[in-house]
Structure 1
């Protein structure tokens, strides 16, 4: 290459636009078979499509109980977590030995505690679970924490059952095969693991009844009762279950500009998000102003600006 050619090449490099690689972010979800992972995929797709300069990938985790820890430690930038566990994480209570630096980015869908057995199991109530084999989700998941709280109403602990710490998919597969007597899953509805078992087996939901449900929601105000229509899982009649709102969480020190870009990509494109995941129909953006933990400052400003 002669000197003139070299000069032209250098000049071309100087005026050519520089390609800046996008920053890859991670969102903590849960095990496969529940509703968190598909929602994490949908949220990631929103970021990939609408957040200039960023990409996002969903990460399989232990679930709702682990995600606040992963966000606090910086192992993931965003996480999906129940309102109940997020509340405990901020206060350093329950399964969290110290307060975690997490903030809410916004409201997502609600999860329900699927407590499912099969007809003929002899299980009609929570007390009937004593001595039974129960799949209660991964050891770090939100199902475990809610189950502990529920058992307190009945003077029970996990020692009263034979727990199996399985993914939702594996837990409900074990129920279908008769290897466990009941399977629990804190997930949005319909959730794939439950649907797959319901495709070959008749499902029987374990319900609390009005009195115990009222007692539970009084003791734990971040829970609610949710009616699941009969056609969701072909149960013959509606079932009333325990519900918990889910939220998108981030570390408290996330940069405001980054947070705003992510919020606009997700909550500013709800129709697109619903097309990716039908659970997003449950999202009411302004409801994010009433979550039980503090909103990130950028989220506070974003949701307050909405009409």
Structure 2
């Protein structure tokens, strides 16, 4: 993955850059950091890229597979991608220099995106009905740099557990759910939008069971970690008898503070002025409320702020 990202960065340098080390010049490709295949970040990145390619005159964009939500702020800070998708919680930590980020990263928001939910999935007969039941079990937790791991740590903390109490498997969402159906792990977690391709693929040949928090534990989670929320996944998404009670985490489109105001405005305009086109590319975009971009846990880029203030 690192070699791939470096190759992309070298290509951008070869093409030239009129905006400095973090920027891509007009007529050049920008890179959007997404996550591993099988989740929702990569297809959302494709949809956002299509909006840029169609509506941002002089700019193009390509989605890049990355380690996911936790890694993407670092890739922005290092200049390996120009924009990226990241959970609101991790974006906040990165901006503040907290949690997995020892130093504050100079990132800004371009706007709000869809919310991801934490899929907590096992097989019938596993004996896993709650987070406590994960003690001593094998668990696919997504890539080491992904957002799933951070929310899992919070969940384990809430239940007086740590990663030492489970046997984690750090793999892509697709591989994690393949490991679940093959019996290599006892449960698989994925912080992604819904429906998620990895879950749909696993469900095609296997019956799945979703692990849910009790009402008391959900309330405790939201009080302890206010950057999360609760939502229900409708029955028609995964064919469940009842809606699934899940943890949700908003996602942001982020960029470096060094990005020019003009480019940040152009990106925001190309995406949020054409929501119908974005929704046509990704059903997840139907859940985006552009106006929420004015109340985010990290500062809006000044160029994006100008766009959203003019939009209202």
The TM-score, its normalising length taken from structure 1, stands at 0.92
**Aligned equivalents of 1:290 and 1:240: distance in 2?**
25
Supply the RMSD in Å over aligned alpha carbons.
1.0
1:286 and 1:304 in contact (8 A); partners too: no
Deviations 1:74-98 (A, max 9, x none): 1100000000000100110000010
Structure 1 unaligned residues grouped into runs of 5+: 1-19
Is 1:85 matched with 2:122? Answer: no
Query: How far apart, CA to CA, are the structure 2 residues paired with 1:207 and 1:264?
Result: 38
Residue 138 (structure 1) aligns with: 143
Q: Which residue pairs with 1:201 in the alignment?
A: 206
Aligned-residue offset at 1:21: 7.0
Alpha-carbon separation, structure 1, partners of 2:80 and 2:176? 27
Rounded Cα–Cα distance in structure 2 between residues aligned with 1:97 and 1:165: 22
Distance 1:235 1:159 in 2: 32
Asked if 1 retains the 8 angstrom alpha-carbon contact of 2:178 and 2:202, the reply is: yes
Q: Which runs of 5+ in 2 are unaligned?
A: 1-24
CA distance in 1, matches of 2:290, 2:309: 10
Aligned mates of 1:75, 1:266 — CA distance in 2: 22
Q: Structure 2 vs 1, CA of residues 21 and 154 (structure 1 numbering), >3 Å: closer, same or farther?
A: closer
Shift of 1:230: 1.4
Q: Secondary structure at the match of 2:304?
A: helix
Separation in structure 1 between the aligned mates of residue 294 and residue 150 of structure 2, nearest angstrom: 25
Residue 116 of structure 1: CA displacement?
0.3
Mean Cα deviation higher: 194-203 or 79-88: 194-203
Q: Does 1:246 align with 2:248?
A: no
- In structure 2, the partner of 1:128 is 133
Separation in structure 1 between the aligned mates of residue 267 and residue 247 of structure 2, nearest angstrom: 30
- In structure 2, which of residues 58, 66, 86 is the aligned counterpart of residue 61 of structure 1? 66
User: Which is greater in Rg?
Assistant: 1
The question of whether the paired residues in 1 share the 8 Å contact of 2:265 and 2:306 is answered with no
Cross-structure match for 2:52: 47
Q: Secondary structure at the match of 2:311?
A: coil
Secondary structure of 1:47's partner? Answer: helix
- Aligned pair partner of 1:229 in 229, 234, 237: 234
**Residues 119 and 202 in structure 1, CA contact (< 8 A), matched pair in contact too:** yes
Q: Quote the residue 1:296 is aligned against.
A: 301
Alpha-carbon displacement from aligned partner over 1:3-22 (angstroms, at most 9, x marks no partner)? xxxxxxxxxxxxxxxxx971
Aligned residue in 2 for 1:306:
311
Length-normalised TM-score, structure 2: 0.91
Which stretches of structure 1, 4 residues or longer, exceed 2 Å deviation after superposition?
none
Residues 1:72 and 2:77 are matched in the alignment: yes
Decide which of 102, 107, 127 is 1:97's aligned counterpart: 102
1:149 & 1:265 partners in 2: Cα distance?
A: 36
- Number of residue pairs matched? 288
- Asked if 1 retains the 8 angstrom alpha-carbon contact of 2:263 and 2:303, the reply is no
- Cα distance, 1:140 vs. partner? 0.4
Q: Quote the Cα distance in structure 1 between the aligned partners of 2:194 and 2:237.
A: 8
SS at match of 2:45: helix
**1:192 aligns to 2:197 (yes or no):** yes
Structure 1 counterpart of 2:170, from 158, 161, 165: 165
2-structure distance, mates of 1:262, 1:21: 12
Alpha-carbon distance between aligned partners in 2 of 1:301 and 1:219, rounded to the nearest angstrom: 34
Shift, 1:226, TM fit = 1.1
